[in-house]
Structure 1
Amino acid sequence: MKILFLTQFFSPETGAASKRVYGLARQLVKLGHEVHVVTGMPNYPSGRIKDEYKKKIFCFEKIDGINVSRYYVYVSEKRNTLNRMLNYFSLVLSSLFFLLKRREIDIIITSSPPLFLGLTGVIMSKIKKIPHVFDIRDIWPEVAVEIGELKEGSKVYKIMKRIEKIIYKNSDILTVVTKGKKTNLIKNGVDANKIKLVSNGFDEEFLEIPINKDIAERYNLIGKFNFLYAGIIGIAQGIDIIIESAEKLKFNNEIQFVLVGNGVELERMKNLVREKKLSNVIFTGEQPHNNIRSFLHYSNVALVPLKSEALKDSVPTKLYEALGAGKPVILSASGDSVEVVKESRGGLVVKPGDIDSFVKAIEKLYKDKDFYKDCTINSKEYVIKNYSRTAIAKTLEKQLKLELDKSRDNSKNL
């Protein structure tokens, strides 16, 4: 098959969207398919285009056998609704220039969020008369309302709801990453037969990345019991709970909190640490994804917080990576991600925002050596068995082949 991914985010950008598309695309290449990715110039989450891509309106590169076409995107370090919309819609428009390349494509997969690139996917699928798959990691605009970024009933919300309906109606398959998302879509009137589960997963090759010893020295990770958060430092993640816990545990000289990543909340978190005069919190800034393997290696426990109990159908990619690397997890969330931690027996779960329980979970894994050891063994075995990226790519491949066969049969009957 000749497969096209449309995505706002792609390597070298970090974050769940980039990891998912990159992981699936790479595995599909290994399965013998020709894979193309249409995306923008890397700029997330800093709002600045990376130096090697600056002043370009188009560039082509090959990454692990994946054909990557990058197009112009509007960027701004100022975080507001207008700039985000301009960022999203600039790629919606610029990515349509891929049609001029006259590439032969069998099927299109659009990654969401953001929602709007689905319009490009729908347009391309109509012009090329091929199936369109809309891959949903988070259901927008609902998730924006849940985290307080958008008001239900606002003009922007209403526009997004209309766009959502257009995309759903004109997509042949809707793939979702959790059972909870499938349930939510069905409740909102989407045909259950149209929805397929293609979960997030763990790439076993992540464990083969060499350990960078310089990281341990640079960030003072040796001789400490390190609690690691690695990911976007944004609104949905609720990083405040980590800073509040660090304050309660500041008298324990062995416990240290390491925050890896960038995002709109980073400066506020740094200011909180300064205000509280905490010496047990380290910010490393944005790191290449390969470095996450080393940070996990030198850490004892991974922290996976989500801000709201409303985000029940989200399972962060960082959860799979931590468990797959054999690191116990403290999850502050509810819903589908809780099932993963409990079924894996790889860590502890607390309610979002429950600082006292979060601190108790930290102390449990710090003090109870037997429990800690059991978590390390259970977590790795469970994730590799149930959430291998290879197996997930094969699930997607099967769904794509079925849809492509159906599309070809329909064309013959016309």
Structure 2
Amino acid sequence: MEEILIISNYYPPEKGAAANRIEQLAQKLHHKNYQVSVLCPLGNYPKGQLFPEYKGKFSVTEQRENITVKRLWIYPSVSKNLLIRLLSVLSFSMSLFFYLLFEKTPKKIVVQSPPLLLSFISVFILSLKNKKIILNVSDLWPLAAIELNALKVNSLSHKFSLLLERYIYKNATVILGQSNEILTHIKSIFPEKQCFLYRNFPDHNISMNKIPLHFEISKNQPIKIFYAGLLGIAQGVYHMCQKIDLHGLNVELHLFGDGAERTQIEAFIFRQREQKIVFHGMMDRKALHETLASFDVAIVPLKTRIYGSVPSKIFEYTSLGFPILYFGGGEGGTIVEENNLGWVAEVGNFDELNLKIVEISKLTTGAINSIKNSVFETSKVTFNLSNQMDELIEIGVF
């Protein structure tokens, strides 16, 4: 059985899309007869505090569903203080640097990017050791940071990040990108680089009878739109809560997750109870999917259009039979429209978003179930992770 290592900044029991997609990759490689190990920090995300089982430990090696997980020391933080956040990044960076320098690693290694600094350290050491580096790019940094106003163009940090970006692209053996925009960007810098599309498709191993397609809704029960994921700056959920208009509609908005905007969102909901917004907090994936069984539509927002970004929630929730109300711009909107997965509103245009919600509010139970059935069938065929992995293995990516 061939060995392969995955280096990631996130891994379960941490929550969120980043941890889920890396676990998904690890599990699928295992099912394809690879001996998979993962290198990541001690669990701390999203609260920026070590989970109880990792407190007081410098490193931990554990088995999670046939995957060997090696966790290294980190000084965790989600502080808004730039110096403290930098210290947190540097702490794991140093742990990773010395581990890769002195410990034995497999010939093939998947490196997750971003974060840029961690992927740079990984690529730097692994290239010296002549490893096969499979760079998995899920977002374009520093470009995304510029679009989110987290970096200023031509600032020292921006120029430094550009150097790191070019280095990892140049020295990776092969590059996987979650969107065509990512591949186009990389090819514009290094035209000869081997690049392949790798969508973040889920694999729930679920059958049709587990999909909530034919549940009954009483006449007085509202249509339930839900958001489940990170409550961070990029998603703009707090701003969406302020701008969304559910007055007079047979619609509720339900929120699941945690992150930097959680306190603001909870305070807003407490003040604006007539808005029919319900906050449920963070749930583990299994419990969340069970809770969502009586829900109707998944909303996928982004604060601004981020070039290269395709939210994995599109694939996650269509695979469960939920149509998407997409509010993020870019390639994600194209995927929803071309595959008839739901509704698309122009990013940042809350008037259009509210019109789409009015349209959804007029749907009957039968119409909702028909849409859900169509979305599930499309997702099952079009967003097939096993087929995607088979194709990548066949052409020698892994």
Same fold (TM over 0.5): yes
- Alignment partners' CA distance in 2, 1:340 and 1:374: 20
The aligned counterpart of 1:219 is none
- Closer, same or farther in 2 for the Cα pair 1:240/1:100, shift >3 Å? closer
Q: Summarize the Cα distance change of 1:285–1:210 in structure 2 as closer, same or farther, 3 Å threshold.
A: farther
User: Which stretch of the first structure deviates more once superposed, 222-231 or 299-308?
Assistant: 222-231
Are 2:235 and 2:301, in contact at CA under 8 Å, matched by a contact in 1?
yes
Q: Which residue of 1 aligns with 2:132?
A: 131
Equivalence for 1:345: 340
1:168, distance to aligned residue in structure 2 (A):
1.6
CA 1:123–1:192 in structure 2 vs 1: closer, same or farther (change >3 Å)?
A: closer
Task: Show CA shifts across 1:114-157 (max 9, x none).
Answer: 11111232244234321112110001011011111111122221
5 Å matches for 1:309-388? 309=305, 311-369=306-364, 371-388=367-384
TM (norm. structure 2) is 0.90
- Displacement of 1:271 after TM fit? 2.8
**Which residue identity is paired with 1:33?**
Y
Pairing of 1:118-197 with structure 2 (within 5 A): 118-187=119-188, 189-197=189-197
Aligned partner of 1:215 in structure 2 is: none
2: CA distance, partners of 1:228 / 1:44? 22
Q: Is the 8 A contact 2:246 2:252 kept in 1?
A: no
CA positional deviation for 1:85: 2.6
Q: How does 1:55-66 map to 2 (within 5 A)?
A: 55-66=56-67
CA distance in 2 between partners of 1:331 and 1:132 (Å): 34
Is the CA contact (8 Å cut-off) linking 1:257 and 1:280 kept in structure 2? yes
Question: 1:278: Cα distance to partner?
Answer: 3.9
Give the distance between the partners of 2:84 and 2:391, measured in 1 at CA.
Answer: 37
> Deviations along 1:166-198, whole A, 9 cap, x unmatched?
2122111121011111112223x2225422211
Q: What is the aligned partner in structure 2 of residue 410 from structure 1? A: none
Aligned-residue offset at 1:207: 6.4
Alpha-carbon distance change, 385 to 336 in structure 1, aligned in 2, over 3 angstroms: same
Alpha-carbon distance, 1:6 to partner: 0.4
AA aligned to 1:60 is: T
Distance 2:367 2:168 in 1: 47
Q: Which runs of 4+ in 1 moved over 3 A?
A: 96-104, 206-211, 274-279
Answer yes or no: is 1:249 the counterpart of 2:246. Answer: yes
Aligned counterparts, 1:297-308, within 5 A: 297-308=293-304
Q: Counterparts of 1:62 and 1:185 in 2: how far apart (Å)?
A: 35
Query: Which stretch shows the higher mean deviation, 136-145 or 43-52?
Result: 43-52
Gap runs ≥5 in structure 2: 212-219
Q: Unaligned regions of 5+ residues in structure 1, if any?
A: 212-221, 404-414
Specify whether residues 74 and 278 from structure 1 end up closer, same or farther in structure 2 by C-alpha distance, changes over 3 A only: farther
Equivalent residues of 1:122, 1:170 under 8 A apart = yes
Q: Which has the higher contact order (CA 8 A, sep 6+)?
A: 1
Contact persistence 2:187–2:193 (CA under 8 A): no
Please name the residue that 2:231 is paired with.
233
Partner of 1:216 in structure 2? none
What secondary structure is seen at the aligned counterpart in 1 of 2:205? helix
The residue identity in structure 2 corresponding to 1:286 is M
- Relative distance call for 1:375 and 1:314 in structure 2 (3 A) is farther
CA distance in 2, matches of 1:395, 1:93: 36
**Residue identity matched to 1:394:** D
> Does residue 1:117 correspond to 2:112, yes or no?
no
Q: Once structures 1 and 2 are overlaid, which stretch shifts more, 270-279 or 289-298?
A: 270-279
Aligned length: 388
**Mapped contact 1:136–1:177 kept (Cα < 8 A):** yes
Q: Contact 1:312 / 1:337 at 8 angstroms: preserved in 2?
A: no
- 2:217: which partner in 1? none
Determine the C-alpha separation between the residues in 1 that align with 2:210 and 2:266: 30
Equivalent in 259, 266, 273 of residue 263 of structure 1 = 259
What is the root-mean-square deviation in Å for CA atoms of aligned residues?
2.4
Q: 2:281 and 2:182 mapped to 1: Cα distance?
A: 31
Residue 69 in structure 1 maps to residue 64 in structure 2: no
Q: 1:231 to 1:165 in 2, by over 3 A?
A: same
